[in-house]
Structure 1
């Protein structure tokens, strides 16, 4: 599971995360310990999500005798583990809290291990007393119902394009092989959608709720405008502004921040982190919205991706094309065979179409 792009809401809604927080065990501890170790930047979000999950699952009752006994057993176990650290033994995380704290940047130690054991015992005891008091206190307090976030998702399989109008009045045209995910009816202070693939947006104006498209960690924000976002896997992310103004920034690289004017495009290379701003040809960028395919100095891999999504087929290459091979062509409402026939002369390949599979052999 990839948690690198998880928000706090994603953690809360994730079934595996909730099970780990509420019913931690050896296997789930090891699993989440590994995920958080690989994604240290997500620890702060996971901590907030853990508190939300625990609050949602809070039981309004005092501790029973068995629960109290079990709690003291856990305290003794924690102290034994801390004591073993002073003997050079590695501490194995036994709870979500210890795992979340384990990967934080350690502070300088001013106490010896024996002193840490005493401090840990005091903290655990204080937490136990606080927990018991809170459980009793909140028995009489009414608990407001918590509204869980509900997401909507739209998918367009290869060979299919779709047009939709969102709850706020914004219009979206989703290209083939793409998906759009967002909170139902949006939030009160913002409108955020997550895109994979390509889409054209005509954003309804709402000065109190900015409209943001997040694609592979790149955020495009606008109040009311029209723009195209292309974010296919292993390709550059391209944001092309048709109307209004937008601001593009990265969730991971805070040095990336650019404001676009009409006719400008920002291209972001996710591998190098470099970006380039320039002008674009609307007829070419928006060709897909008008049922056109235009290849202008297109790499062969990109051309294959376009044709796979457009016609719902899979390509099988018997050998690789010559390095640096670029293809050209413009097609409108053409069948796949005619496009392959036209490309085969300049790209020098032979092709064979068998149902939903295309076999290509370069000469």
Structure 2
């Protein structure tokens, strides 16, 4: 995978230092080669060719200031000129290095191949007296390969750094998404707990407060008894609310949660509120896992709450059945209400939350009307061995 080079409109201090350093290296290469020719006295024929070499070499070095804007075009031009000009070799090496750093390896290979052909053309056009053309060509190819190899090392290092930065950014994004999902799941858990717990307690309060409202001239003992029940239910609702809010401060597993063993207490509260409940327990003293039992408890709790809201006074039957290795079945069925429900009993989200609970436990929820005009709610939950 090729990583594009980041382009900056204004070079920084480091870029300027690199540009100056490479420019000086190219100039130094040309000066040293020119001085070596003068010291050895091996000037090319005709004499004006050496002057042309120096001019072309100076122009090539000056052109290096354009290497960041047109790296490939400049490299190709200098490679072509190096076929007959000797002193432009330093600028040509810098151009090859620049292409290797800033362009994909495929482009670098194409420009390097062209430079190899240009080196072959140079040793054929301008052979050195007493030197083997093959040896000079191999030496030129090696020097050009070193420049290109150095540039490729820097290119791949930058590619690796960009890849690591991209991975770090993706990892940070994924971590943020996981945190948001965890927060969303926590909010859903809090919403389910508040609906199940507070809905049950507030429905009890509504029943007893309604009794006081419809019987304002009841005996003082009955009024005091109902007021005591209301106070107790309100106190218990506050306690349950504190436990639910604790989800924000502690894992759910650390909070006190009801289990199937708490079901008799729940049914007792319903009977004291005026809801007749019949329990049929076919579990044969077998205890389901804690999580499965808690889900079964919530199913019965939500069913009783709905009965008080939508079918006040209706008789309720609760049946528990199942065994390890099969499934736990919880069925709650109520008959038709003796009187129509009050107008403010609009449907809520309890069944939706119960379906989510059952699905999270690996089970399923069933509900619907019965032949007698009542309502049936059943949950089937896995019960591992």
Q: TM-score, normalised by structure 2?
A: 0.19
Greater share of strand: 1
Greater share of helix: 2
Which protein has the larger Cα radius of gyration, Structure 1 or Structure 2? 2
The one of the two structures with greater contact order (alpha-carbon pairs below 8 A, sep at least 6) is: 2
